[in-house]
Amino acid sequence: MSNSLGVLFRVTSFGESHGPCIGVVVDGCPAGLALDAGVVQSDLDRRSSSGQPGATPRREPDRVRVLSGLYRGRTTGAPICMVVDNTSQDSSAYERLAVTPRPGHADYPAGVRYGGWNDPAGGGRFSGRITAGFVMAGAIARTVLRTVNVEVCAHTVAIGAVEAPPCAPEDVPDRHRANALSCCDGAAADAMVEAIKAAQAAGDSVGGVVECVALGLPPGMGEPVFAGVESEVARALYSIPAVKAVEFGAGFALSRMRGSAANDPFAMLHERVVTTKNDAGGVLGGLTTGMPLVVRAGFKPTPSISRAQKTVNLESGTDTELTIAGRHDACIVPRAVVVVEAMVAIALCDLGLRCGAIQQVVR
Ligand SMILES: Cc1cc2nc3c(=O)[nH]c(=O)nc-3n(C[C@H](O)[C@H](O)[C@H](O)COP(=O)(O)O)c2cc1C
Average predicted confidence (pLDDT) for the chain: 95
Q: How far is the CA of 315 from the centre of ligand 1 (A)?
A: 25
Contact 250, 243 (CB under 8 A): no
pLDDT digits (tens, 9 = 90+) for 153-165: 999 999 999 999 9
Question: 3-class SS at 80?
Answer: strand
Asked if residue 10 belongs to a domain, the reply is: yes
Neighbours of 263 (CB within 10 A): 14
| Residues in the chain with pLDDT values less than 50 | none
Ligand 1 atom closest to Cα of residue 126: 21
> Is 363 a domain residue?
no
Ligand 1 atom with least separation from CA of 105:
22
- At 56 the pLDDT is 73
Amino acid at position 254, single letter? L
Q: Write the CB contacts of 197 (distance below 8 Å, at least 6 apart in sequence).
A: 53, 54
Q: What span, in angstroms and rounded, lies between the C-alpha atoms of 270 and 338? A: 33
- Within a domain: 207: yes
360 part of a folded domain: no
pLDDT for the residue 151: 98
Total residues found in the chain within this entry: 363
pLDDT at 58 (0 to 100) = 67
The domain in which residue 302 lies consists of 4-355
List the CATH number of the domain containing 99.
3.60.150.10
Q: Which of 132, 154, 43, 26 is closest to 80 using CA atoms?
A: 26
The predicted structure's pLDDT at residue 46: 94
- The number of the ligand 1 atom at minimal distance from the alpha carbon of 329 is 8
pLDDT (0 to 100) of residue 205: 97
Atom of ligand 1 nearest to the CA of 244: 26
State the Cα angle at 127 between 123 and 131, rounded to 5°.
165
Which amino acid residue places its CA nearest to atom 22 of ligand 1?
105
- What's the gap in Å between 256 CA and the centre of ligand 1? 32
Angle between helices 37-47 and 333-355 (to 10 degrees): 140
3-state secondary structure of 300: coil
- Would residue 361 count as lying in a domain? no
Q: How far is the CA of 94 from the centre of ligand 1 (A)?
A: 14
Of all atoms in ligand 1, which is nearest to the CA of residue 241? 26
Q: Is residue 209 part of a domain?
A: yes
Gap between the Cα atoms of 54 and 243, Å rounded: 18
pLDDT at position 59, please? 73
Which one of 309, 329, 338 would you pick to mutate in the ligand 1 pocket, going by the greatest count of ligand atoms within 8 A of its CB?
Answer: 329
Instruction: Give the nearest ligand 1 atom to 243 CA.
Output: 26
Rg (CA), the chain: 21
User: To which H or E segment does residue 309 belong?
Assistant: strand 309-313
Asked if residue 362 belongs to a domain, the reply is: no
- Give how many domains the chain has, as a whole number: 1
Helix (H, G, I), strand (E, B) or coil at 211: strand
Pocket of ligand 1 (CB under 6 A): 56, 105-106, 123, 126-128, 131, 240-242, 300, 302-304, 328-329, 332, 335-336, 339
Cα(205) to centroid of ligand 1, in Å? 11
Residue type, 326: G
How remote is the C-alpha of 292 from its chain's centroid? 18
Instruction: Compute the distance from residue 328 Cα to the ligand 1 centre, in Å.
Output: 9
Residue 128 Cα to ligand 1 midpoint, Å, equals 5
Q: Is residue 100 part of a domain?
A: yes
Express each pLDDT in 25-61 by its tens digit: 999 999 999 999 999 999 999 998 777 777 776 677 8
**C-alpha 262 – ligand 1 centre gap (Å):** 35
C-alpha of residue 133 to centroid of ligand 1, in Å: 15
